[in-house]
Amino acid sequence: MTGAKPAPLPGAPPFEPSLLVKIQAALQQRGASYRPETAHRNPDGSPRFTNRLILETSPYLIQHAHNPVDWRPWGEEAFEAAKQLDRPVLLSVGYSTCHWCHVMEQESFEDEEIARFLNEHFVTIKVDREERPDVDSLYMSAVSALTGGGGWPMTVWLTPEKEPFFGGTYFPARDGDRGASRGLLTILRQTQEAYHRSGLSIQETAHRLKEALAQALSSPTTGSLPGKVSLQKAVESYRSSFDPDQGGLKGAPKFPATLPVRLLLRESRRFPDAGSLSMAVVTLERMADGGIYDQIGGGFHRYATDARWRVPHFEKMLYDNSLLALAYLEGYQATSRAEFARISREILLYLKRDMMSPDGAFYGATDADSRNTEGESLEGLFYTWTPEEILRVLGPERTRVLLPAFGITPGGNFAGGRSIPYKARTIDTLAMQLHVPESEIRSILESSRRDLYQARLNRPAPHRDEKILTAWNGLALSAFSRAAQVLGDEAFLRQAEMLADVLMGVGFQNGRLQRNLAARGARRDAFLSDYAFLTAGLLDLYEATGDVKRLRQALLLDAVLEKHYEDRSAGGFFLTADDAEKLLVREKPSEDGAEPSGNSVAVMNLLRMAELTGEARFLARAELALGAFGAILSERPTSLSEMLLAVEFLYNSPPEIVVVTPTDRQEAVPFLERLRKVYLPNRVLVVSVQGSALNAAATLIPLLSGKTALQGKATAYLCENRTCRLPVTSPEAFEKQLRQLRLPGDNVMLPKASPAQGKP
């Protein structure tokens, strides 16, 4: 980048000299490889306009740093300017891999006429929803109250006191664009006029909306502990809306998170004939076969736009893939379906290969769009194929197999005659139709996927959002830790250990977690989900390693959560800390979405810590929290499906499993291999080596007290309902004990081992 002074933003006052120096320096620091995302360029390729967002660390904000709009980041400085200028605020919220956010930027925020009007009549603020989930959630609730819906990009008009009075999502630039009667420019003129002409009316609207938000974002403070009826009610609701042919809920679009597979798998243990297992299995099968799964490179796209999971919205999110890896791991344990183990393994390998930062943490997302050879941005271009492209990479023999296998046709199933790969035929069907042995079909498909992946790397890649969010990495930590347990893969365990070291090293400073680890030096305190998800990941890693350090780290994070986030009188947790920026409302999250609610995960953490430590205070806090959400769980339990996992855990009196080895943890492996064969989602696992390490751990984990390796052999201890079985030194005897477990309150024994369908 050159050191040329940016052109004045149309209609905006010039920057103060000191600010201009900072902006020029920040632009210079981007270096020669920096490619500004703007159509407004100087002859040398440098950006014509640069605004304050160039000083930020968020990839989304930096994408907008060269709009002619006088964008400001969220902060008191922006609202003070609005007060001084007596202007309304336009708040625009999105994220860097959001397709329609890009569209609105190109149509409106790159438009100089619209930018001029904004700069002359509004104070404009840009927010990355992934960096500021508190701001996003607050104003998304306002938009939902105003319009009955929501989504991104989110566009909200505020008073200088941060109170919303009008809002929506995507607006086309002008009247008539994309069939809209009113475009953004018209709406801007009308809201600006209304603000100054009828300020009192707008103030009244803003005040009423503020009161509605306070009621909507605070969970009920009265309620009793939810019972098992909430579980049954939720399953019945999912059954009534289930798509028996394609899995998931009926209709389109189809989101993986709308059907809680892990809850259905758990309920199938208590009620084997209720159809829960079938709903879970069909959904896992259809998603893995569809275009929503990247058949070439692994990993899931954001959602499917059709009812058959074939046409995805092509974003890939770290949180989606981490949660789906967990779902497929549990699906594998519950069914012994090797295909489910393969999918979970491929998801994690995709994350390691394509999403891992140099220090072992994971980036947040990749975009839906990529560019063609003319520089035009198109959705899905990176992931789609034509038969001719396949032929050039694979040659005629393998192409003959690949095209029918993945449904790639001359006409295509996507824009521009291109095809989204999906599993169009099974291997046995292909073998019969092509007169080729099944083993050869498998070999051809494996080699073809590898070669197509390598060929795809030569295409312009979608933008990758390189934020490293603690919450999403906490979900990844759970996925890698549990994969290490379920699949017995030491490489996944090493990855989990490295990730935990980064999150608790770089991410935990001066007694508090940081939200975004990629924004070194840009301190942003964490939110509820950061603490809850990372605590869960550390508990999973403790069970995978037996390293008490991980349990201590989980307890340390919970102590911060208790002090700064917990509602100790009414129960549950607030989204923000007690010393965080004060917004209009301090939200207590009470709904699971694409990500679980921080409250749902925090309650489960408390129940697990209660079992591990034997401390009643953890159970008391969990029950108080469940009581706070008791009305929601009773009336509309599907809105907190992840919290229902905690309800199920509470009423299941989870078994306690202790394995003590004489000299080395590896001596526990034969017992852990037996444990992997049993789908036992609600249990506590402690593995320790006899001696000083065990004695030290026993002060924290009473389950270890008095446990020894009998006769110098690895010994398993299994307890349920506060009653212990005889200790066993035989892995076979241990598995027999596991299969004799009953689910409390139900006359159901754990099923016998299903015949494995191939190796995982």
Mapped onto helix, strand or coil, the DSSP state of residue 699 is: coil
The two structure tokens encoding residue 193? 């006029």
Q: Tell me the per-residue pLDDT of 465-511, one tens digit each, with 9 for 90 and over.
A: 999 999 999 999 999 999 999 999 999 999 999 999 999 999 999 99
How far apart CA 41 and CA 347 sit, in angstroms, is: 39
Mapped onto helix, strand or coil, the DSSP state of residue 158 is: strand
Q: Tell me the per-residue pLDDT of 71-87, one tens digit each, with 9 for 90 and over.
A: 999 999 999 999 999 99
Instruction: Work out the average pLDDT over 399-411.
Output: 97
3 or 382, which is more confident? 382
Q: Say if residue 3's pLDDT is above 80.
A: no
Q: Say if residue 44's pLDDT is above 90.
A: no
Per-residue model confidence (pLDDT) at position 490: 95
Q: Say if residue 335's pLDDT is above 70.
A: yes
Q: Which amino acid is at 312?
A: P
Q: Which of 756, 755, 758, 675 is nearest to 714 (CA)?
A: 675
The two structure tokens encoding residue 686? 């402690």
The dihedral formed by the CA atoms of 235, 241, 247 and 252, expressed in degrees to the nearest 10: -140
How far apart CA 491 and CA 511 sit, in angstroms, is: 30
Give the H/E segment covering residue 165: strand 164-168
Instruction: Enter the DSSP assignment of 584.
Output: S
Per-residue model confidence (pLDDT) at position 747: 45
Q: 528 falls in which pLDDT band (50, 70, 90)?
A: very high
How far apart CA 514 and CA 213 sit, in angstroms, is: 27
How far apart CA 523 and CA 509 sit, in angstroms, is: 10
How far apart CA 340 and CA 322 sit, in angstroms, is: 14
How far apart CA 522 and CA 505 sit, in angstroms, is: 16
Length of the chain: 760
Q: Which of 755, 716, 722 is nearest to 736 (CA)?
A: 716
How far apart CA 403 and CA 419 sit, in angstroms, is: 10
The two structure tokens encoding residue 552? 């201590």
Per-residue model confidence (pLDDT) at position 518: 83
- Domains in the chain (CATH in brackets) are 17-216 (3.40.30.10), 228-366+466-651 (1.50.10.10), 369-461 (no CATH), 656-739 (3.40.30)
33 or 290, which is more confident? 290
Q: How far is the CA of 265 from the CAs of 272, 602, 645, in angstroms?
A: 10, 21, 11
Residue in this structure with the two tokens 């599907």, named with its chain if needed: 638
Tell me the sheet residues that pair with 419. 385
Predicted TM-score (pTM) of the model is: 0.94
Q: Tell me the per-residue pLDDT of 564-611, one tens digit each, with 9 for 90 and over.
A: 999 999 999 999 999 999 999 999 999 999 999 999 999 999 999 999
Q: Tell me the per-residue pLDDT of 623-669, one tens digit each, with 9 for 90 and over.
A: 999 999 999 999 999 999 999 999 999 988 899 999 999 999 999 99
Q: Which amino acid is at 232?
A: Q
Per-residue model confidence (pLDDT) at position 132: 95
Centroid of chain to Cα 491? 23
How far apart CA 337 and CA 261 sit, in angstroms, is: 15
Mean pLDDT comparison of 121-130, 211-220, 514-523, highest-scoring range: 121-130
Per-residue model confidence (pLDDT) at position 755: 40
How far apart CA 736 and CA 713 sit, in angstroms, is: 18
Identify the weakest region by mean pLDDT among 157-166, 382-391, 546-555, 733-742. 733-742
Q: 757 falls in which pLDDT band (50, 70, 90)?
A: very low
Taking a C-beta distance cutoff of 8 angstroms, is the pair 301, 367 a contact? Answer: no
Taking a C-beta distance cutoff of 8 angstroms, is the pair 609, 539 a contact? Answer: yes
How far apart CA 677 and CA 684 sit, in angstroms, is: 16
723 or 429, which is more confident? 429
Report the alpha-carbon angle 260-266-267, nearest 5.
Answer: 90
Q: Tell me the per-residue pLDDT of 26-43, one tens digit each, with 9 for 90 and over.
A: 998 888 888 888 999 998
Instruction: Work out the average pLDDT over 140-153.
Output: 91
Q: Say if residue 220's pLDDT is above 70.
A: no
Q: Say if residue 221's pLDDT is above 80.
A: no
The set of residues, in sequence order, having a beta carbon less than 8 Å from that of 547 and lying 6+ positions away, is 541
β-pair type (164-168, 154-158): antiparallel
Q: Tell me the per-residue pLDDT of 536-559, one tens digit each, with 9 for 90 and over.
A: 999 999 999 999 999 999 999 999
Q: Tell me the per-residue pLDDT of 448-471, one tens digit each, with 9 for 90 and over.
A: 999 999 999 999 999 999 999 999
Instruction: Work out the average pLDDT over 374-400.
Output: 92
Per-residue model confidence (pLDDT) at position 224: 79
Q: Say if residue 753's pLDDT is above 60.
A: no
β-pair type (684-689, 656-661): parallel
How far apart CA 687 and CA 502 sit, in angstroms, is: 24
Q: Tell me the per-residue pLDDT of 677-713, one tens digit each, with 9 for 90 and over.
A: 899 999 999 999 999 889 989 999 999 999 999 999 9
The mean predicted confidence, pLDDT, of the chain is 92
β-pair type (154-158, 89-94): antiparallel
